[in-house]
Structure 1
Amino acid sequence: MSKKLMVQETGKWKKKEKAENRRRMERERVRETYANKKEVEVIPATVDIDSIDRPITKVAAYCRVSTLEDAQAGSFERQIQHFREMIENTEGWKNVGIYADEGASGTNMKKRPEFQRMIQDCKDGKIDLIVTKSVSRFARNTRDCLEVVRVLKGLSPPVGVFFEDVNLNTIEAKNEFTLGVMSLVAQGESEAKSAAITWSVIERFKNGVPIISTNNLLGYDKDKFGKLIVVEEEAEVVRYIYNCYLDGQTVKQIAEALTEAHIPTVKGREVWNSGTVRNILKNEKYCGDVIMQKTFTVDCFSHKTVINRGQKPKYRLTDDHEAIVSRKVWDKVQELLKEPRRYGNGKKKPIEKKFRVSKIKNGRLKGFAVIDPRWRQKDVDKFFEWLSKSEERKE
């Protein structure tokens, strides 16, 4: 070994020995301190922190359930009553409001009006602290949750969010990491739940159990068992549209004819447009079939629905229900639609002006009819006659 290398190795050995000596001396000092404890006089506090006058904290609660089911209704009301009592029974807290979104998804904050109103009230200085049950009630999207919390902390004065189930207040800086982990867990739960629901729906489709909404479906309604039934008054309009197109009219001409005849659309509107007529002509349900998964949701956070143009499989159920037009007519119309018409050569057909009523098919007002306040007595009599026949068909 050369002299230069020997010097380097000797230097490394001496540094290592010095470091070891320092560690040994530190351990010995700690041992000696505990072995020879010194007497320390404790001077008690003379000021009671709790007795200091503090400004009243303006506290709001946020409650949410994701569905409008009866079981969730109890949970929703319990959240509201619990936080109302909690705020009112806490010294120094003032209840400035309960913000509650019922039947709202936690994955999208834009669709929660009460949540948005609460955040705006925080920015307006009306709220100092938000209390909520858990991270999953507040948000199930990690990015949105942390973003909102940081916005609230950045206000002057800052606004905190207290998550009751884990006793976590976002005003404390040390809690942000914990909040991030919990948000990820909540997001994972949402993704797993969404995947389970999607799987369930696809299994229904594979087994020939379609999910059909009749809200915007002219010519059909559902009976008490959920099966599609033909509404003859509306079915006549559908047949008129198909026959006119087969005779050479354009969709625009058909729409104009229906508008002139004062035939209401399925939504009760007075004016028809070409797009509505074209959609009726292309809808396979009118020949008795159902194509499932025409659209799909991109993800459970944006809730964006897109048309299925081959990205996902589709499922066709043939002869699922009573047809309004024959399959031969429907197939012929599909062939004609491949070559759109600029000018129609068919004669305008008159449509019989029968008494027609636009009926609400879905939602909380399902079964109610849209009536015209300008009706005369004979119109009212016709309405009840129509209603009676409609109920008989459902039986």
Structure 2
Amino acid sequence: MGSEQRRAAVYLRISQDRENTRLGVDRHREDAEALIAARRWLAVGVYEDNDISGKGHKKRPAFERLLKDIEAGLIDVVVAQEWPRLERNRTDGVRIIEAAQRHHVLLTFAKGSDIDCTTAAGRLSADMFSAIARNEIEVKAERQSRAQRQRAEQGRPPKGVRPLGYATNGEVIEHEAEAVRKMYAAFSSGASLRAIAAALSGYRGADVPHLPALPRHNRTLMIERNARRAEEGLQPRPVPEDGPWVSSTVLGILRNPRYAGYSTYTPKEVLANGDRRRSWRAQILRDEHGDPITGNWDGIVALPVWEAVQDRLDDPARISNRTGTDRKHLGSGLYRCAVCDRPVKAHGQRYRCAGHIMRSREQIDDFVVEAVRRRLALPDLHDLLPSADEPRMLEIKTEIDERRARIHRAQRDYDDELIEGLDLKRIRDRENAAIDTLEVERLRLSLGMSHNSVLKARDPLSAFDAGDLALRRQAIEILCEVRLHPHPRGVKAFDPDSVTVTWR
């Protein structure tokens, strides 16, 4: 086929065109069309991926259509501005080179030369251009990552999307911050992620904590961006419809160390411990002594509260749960069987321990609630409350920090080739096992009185009466142990002696 008969397709791509000005793709189209006209080829189509990266994280629809048409034999020449416009990842590089080789398609560039992938020299050139394009991306990514880490090491707020409660410069947005504090307090008091999401969405109910309703954060962010665009004389972008909050968003907020004032850095590589559930803790930046680096912003949540929430999120019972952690009944999993000491389960209108007891839920709950209400009404209540073991909590935190510092030092020694990989693994496994044991103990101590708004209230009885299901369950768990005995045979009336309430 003569050169004047070749069917030429134009491929256009610009990584970022957020304002959709199309200036870049239009320039590239003009250059490509001028090249096609100069070489007397037949223009058969334009394949455009505007505002799409070529790194491979996002599908490029026009690139996929280009490959499909090459395989169909509809194209003899592909014209692009330069190789990096065509691809910047190994997978797409191999695909375009092999397709061009199979179908004798010439690759040519307005700011470059022809590449004939049917020859060994042409494929070598294509491989080299592809490798250079990938190297440019990787070097840029390393430079940006190092700058982000340096920024975090200095305690400066990270760039990018602002989290709920903070402005981009790190200043606190008070009405959002108050919602964040209440989210942490609700979770510490036993509320589930699902219940917190429902409360933020405006739902109300016995098992929904009292939180201010907020619009979805992505909607708020787009409204703010459009306000800035209006100041710059730009057209607004579409604003996402408001909808209910989801549990994963709540989890991300509860996991974020920035709310406790910690500076964080998210590495691109997989974390050394491989545990995604604890990744936020692992991403807290530490200095050469292994101590956490604090940010140059005000924390929204007190450190003990943040740590307590992490302990509850790391609780093995939550990790192994596949059906959710919401409790629908006051005593399910909380009251115990007096025969075997196992937690009872809700079974229809009753509490049940298989083979031992079957008791009326309403009668038991009424009895326990009234007993707790009498306790909360005592004038010397605070003298009777179990005290948190603050010294032991401090000891646990100090020991956890020391063991994490040992892991950090071992990693540094390994990087400096002072120890072998097996030594690093042995140290990491030993210290992580000890940390897990300490965190289980801290979980038991931390989710207690200090994080229950009923027991901290000026009027605990009124706070208990007004509390949601999770808050009341936690108050009962802190105050007492409830054991259910088998109901006496032949007795229809409720027997108070068949329920044992032991005050802690």
State the SS of the aligned residue for 1:62. Answer: strand
State the SS of the aligned residue for 1:290. Answer: coil
Partner of 2:127: 180
Distance 1:108 1:273, change over 3 A: closer
Distance 1:140 1:249, change over 3 A: closer
State the SS of the aligned residue for 1:292. Answer: coil
Partner of 1:168: 114
State the SS of the aligned residue for 2:156. Answer: coil
Distance in 1 separating the partners of 2:277 and 2:80:
34
Distance in 2 separating the partners of 1:59 and 1:182:
21
Would you say 1:59 and 2:32 are equivalent positions? no
Q: How does 1:15-30 map to 2 (within 5 A)?
A: none
- Alpha-carbon shift at residue 87 of structure 1 (Å): 1.8
- Per-residue displacement from partner, 1:104-132 (whole Å, max 9, x unpaired)? 33332853333223222333444321112
Partner of 2:285: 314
From 38, 56, 71, the counterpart of 1:108:
56
Amino acid at match of 1:323: G
State the SS of the aligned residue for 1:96. Answer: strand
Q: Is the 8 A contact 2:9 2:47 kept in 1?
A: yes
Would you say how many aligned residue pairs link Structure 1 and Structure 2? 283
- Alpha-carbon shift at residue 310 of structure 1 (Å): 9.2
Amino acid at match of 1:219: G
Would you say 1:214 and 2:174 are equivalent positions? no
- Per-residue displacement from partner, 1:266-320 (whole Å, max 9, x unpaired)? 2455334443333322222223333222x4257xxxxxx9995899883554253
Give the TM-score normalised by structure 2: 0.47
- Alpha-carbon shift at residue 62 of structure 1 (Å): 1.9
Would you say 1:266 and 2:194 are equivalent positions? no
Distance in 1 separating the partners of 2:251 and 2:90:
42
How high is the sequence identity, in percent, across the aligned residues?
26
From 200, 217, 225, the counterpart of 2:147:
200
- Per-residue displacement from partner, 1:180-229 (whole Å, max 9, x unpaired)? 333333333333333333333333333333424435x322333xxxx133
Q: Is the 8 A contact 2:100 2:118 kept in 1?
A: no
Distance 1:219 1:75, change over 3 A: same
Partner of 1:246: 188
Distance 1:335 1:138, change over 3 A: closer
Distance in 1 separating the partners of 2:48 and 2:246:
40
Distance in 2 separating the partners of 1:53 and 1:76:
29
Q: Is the 8 A contact 1:63 1:137 kept in 2?
A: yes
Distance in 1 separating the partners of 2:280 and 2:304:
25
Distance 1:257 1:228, change over 3 A: same
Partner of 2:444: none
Partner of 1:78: 27
- Alpha-carbon shift at residue 64 of structure 1 (Å): 3.0
Q: How does 1:238-387 map to 2 (within 5 A)?
A: 238-259=180-201, 260-261=203-204, 263-267=214-218, 269-293=242-266, 295-297=267-269, 314-315=285-286, 316-339=292-315, 342=325, 349=467
Amino acid at match of 2:43: N
- Per-residue displacement from partner, 1:35-89 (whole Å, max 9, x unpaired)? xxxxxxxxxxxxxxxxx9887322122233434489x976554322111222234
From 199, 223, 228, the counterpart of 2:170:
228
Partner of 1:7: none
Distance 1:77 1:168, change over 3 A: same
- Per-residue displacement from partner, 1:305-336 (whole Å, max 9, x unpaired)? 99958998835542532333333433443444
CA RMSD of aligned residues (A): 3.9
Distance in 2 separating the partners of 1:167 and 1:236:
61
Distance 1:129 1:311, change over 3 A: farther
Q: Is the 8 A contact 2:6 2:77 kept in 1?
A: yes
Amino acid at match of 2:264: I
Q: Is the 8 A contact 1:254 1:277 kept in 2?
A: yes
Distance in 2 separating the partners of 1:54 and 1:277:
61
State the SS of the aligned residue for 2:9. Answer: strand
Distance in 2 separating the partners of 1:59 and 1:141:
24
Distance in 2 separating the partners of 1:121 and 1:57:
15
Distance in 2 separating the partners of 1:214 and 1:193:
21
Q: How does 1:130-145 map to 2 (within 5 A)?
A: 130-142=78-90, 144-145=92-93
Distance 1:205 1:149, change over 3 A: same
Distance in 1 separating the partners of 2:467 and 2:285:
37
Distance 1:338 1:179, change over 3 A: closer
Amino acid at match of 1:137: R
Distance 1:102 1:317, change over 3 A: farther
| Structure 2 residue ranges without an equivalent (≥5) | 205-212, 220-241, 271-275, 287-291, 319-324, 331-451, 453-463, 469-504
Distance 1:130 1:196, change over 3 A: same
Amino acid at match of 1:206: E
Distance in 1 separating the partners of 2:49 and 2:37:
21
